[in-house]
Structure 1
Amino acid sequence: MSETKITYALITGASKGIGKSMAIALAKRKINLLLISRSADELAVLQIAIKNEYGVEVHILAIDLSQSQAAKAVHNWVKAKNYAVQILINNAGYGLWGKFAELDLSAQLEMCQLNMATVTALCHLFVPVLSTQKKAYILNVGSTAAYQAVPTLAIYSATKAFILSFTRALRFELKDGPVSVSCLSPGPVDTGFAHRAGLDAFNKMAEKFNMKPDDVAEIAIKGLFAGKSEIIPGFTNIISVYANRILPKGFIEKMAAGIYKT
């Protein structure tokens, strides 16, 4: 009888925030990990900590996923190492805050590459791999910003709208096979997102609504294994998403512009 092959969950943006918390949540469930991030040092520290605490296999790859060939490099690494991927979590992403015409174009296009193109490429490359498993999962991380246009976060919210739409379509296309596809749409999370986006002035207000990464991760993993199409952590976020569906778009955009105004 042939030996059962070890399977892994591959997580991008795994060195901090929700990605790190999801890695730990999966390790608690004795799931082996492939962790991807730009920071080799942070990944190495996390690798040792998870191995020591949970006794699972953890392999790491430091790479900048905002580069156009990054997804192919990740796939080549997995193939060369003969890792069997059962779960793909596309978590890496970031936002830029400011008026579209005033923000640097190359920075915005780089964000598009990471938030959309790399996610698309990783899904395309790994769906055939995942389809060889009896049961497999894809989790694409969106945002509650996906459900509305957000002035001064125009491109970020648009990239997350793409993720939501793409994920739902891919889920339908794969529904008769072994791969379950879900979209996680968190609201404000205490991850440092606002700082990278240049939203430091928003931090004090966000603190009132911020969820902890560990709480979001636990909801995400439970939703993933339950096969949910959309996972929205937090009651306030669920209400806001439903409000976006029934209220006039112009009203929602005016409210968002007031919250994130420059």
Structure 2
Amino acid sequence: MSENKKPYALITGASKGIGKSIAYELAKQGYSLLLVARSEQELKTLSDDLQLKYGISAPFLSIDLSINDASLKVTNWVKMNNYPIGILVNNAGYGVWGDFSKSSLTDQLGMMQLNMNVIVELSHLLLPALSQQKQAYILNISSTAAYQAVPTLAVYSATKAFVLSFTRALRFELAKTSISVTCFSPGPVNTGFASRAGLEALNKMAEKFNMQPDEVAKMAVKAMFSKKSEVIPGFTNIISVYANRILPKAFIEKTAAGIYKV
């Protein structure tokens, strides 16, 4: 394996979907990777493939980020191995679909922990390491759901709104530092998100409007390196977000409820 002088990119939720595609995109550009997700076997397979194809280092850590102290364990893993961090991709997350009153509270709280708290924790814990680089990046993956309330995805859309707001504020605070912060908000993407959420309606809709993880990853990485503040990929998604800003909230929520109805 050739020596790689670029800093590492830590990617959460790296074993599949957008996270996996971002891993390949960064590996193509010569970045070594720190892969974090739950599935050890999927991480090992990914790590081996990335190292074989691109000659980069790709150590991995199998951990459930939704458990308490998981972010601290990730940070300690980075410190103990002296990995120089230059990029943090906060990608891990999932959705829970259904009427809030009938949904598992445990599942909702677990989603909040992963979608919000972990982003805050890792960003805070790894900022000192990122600040050691001449140029560093934080890429937070949100969703077009961040721009509106979504009945039956009530908590999920709220968590993504949090990610968007947090990213905007953090970017402002770090504007005069070496760390650029970007929020990337895709719409439906051909990943396992809908299946895990139990949302067959989204699977059907995605057949018409979905984007592929690889194209989304390329756009996300480009946005990050271009130091964009906020990017929504895809013309249809941009139009839908713009509509959310000008149309009555009651109309938007009724429309969303019809799409994601139980």
Query: SS state of the match for residue 182, structure 2?
Result: strand
Query: SS state of the match for residue 58, structure 1?
Result: coil
Match of residue 134 from structure 1: 134
**Alpha-carbon displacement from aligned partner over 1:176-222 (angstroms, at most 9, x marks no partner):** 00000000100000001100000024312221001000000000000
1:225 alignment partner AA: F
Match of residue 18 from structure 2: 18
2:207 alignment partner AA: E
| Ranges in structure 2 where 5+ consecutive residues have no aligned partner | none
Aligned mates of 1:142, 1:4 — CA distance in 2: 30
Query: SS state of the match for residue 49, structure 2?
Result: helix
Match of residue 115 from structure 1: 115
2:52 alignment partner AA: N
Query: SS state of the match for residue 252, structure 2?
Result: helix
The question of whether the paired residues in 2 share the 8 Å contact of 1:11 and 1:19 is answered with yes
1:44 alignment partner AA: K
Aligned mates of 2:4, 2:222 — CA distance in 1: 25
Tell me by how many angstroms 1:121 deviates: 0.2
Match of residue 204 from structure 1: 204
Match of residue 43 from structure 2: 43
Query: SS state of the match for residue 101, structure 1?
Result: helix
Match of residue 68 from structure 2: 68
List structure 1 runs of 4+ shifted beyond 4 angstroms.
3-6
- 1:186-225, aligned counterparts within 5 Å? 186-225=186-225
Aligned mates of 2:64, 2:171 — CA distance in 1: 27
Would the alpha carbon gap of residues 201 and 114 (structure 1) be closer, same or farther in structure 2, given more than 3 Å must change? Answer: same
Aligned mates of 2:212, 2:99 — CA distance in 1: 29
Aligned mates of 2:176, 2:139 — CA distance in 1: 17
The question of whether the paired residues in 2 share the 8 Å contact of 1:187 and 1:210 is answered with yes
Aligned mates of 1:136, 1:5 — CA distance in 2: 14
Match of residue 78 from structure 1: 78
Percent identical residues: 65
TM-score between both structures, scaled by the size of structure 1: 0.97
| Ranges in structure 1 where 5+ consecutive residues have no aligned partner | none
Match of residue 149 from structure 2: 149
RMSD of Structure 2 on Structure 1 (CA): 1.2
Aligned residues: 260
TM-score between both structures, scaled by the size of structure 2: 0.97
**Alpha-carbon displacement from aligned partner over 1:90-130 (angstroms, at most 9, x marks no partner):** 00000000001100101100100000011110000011111
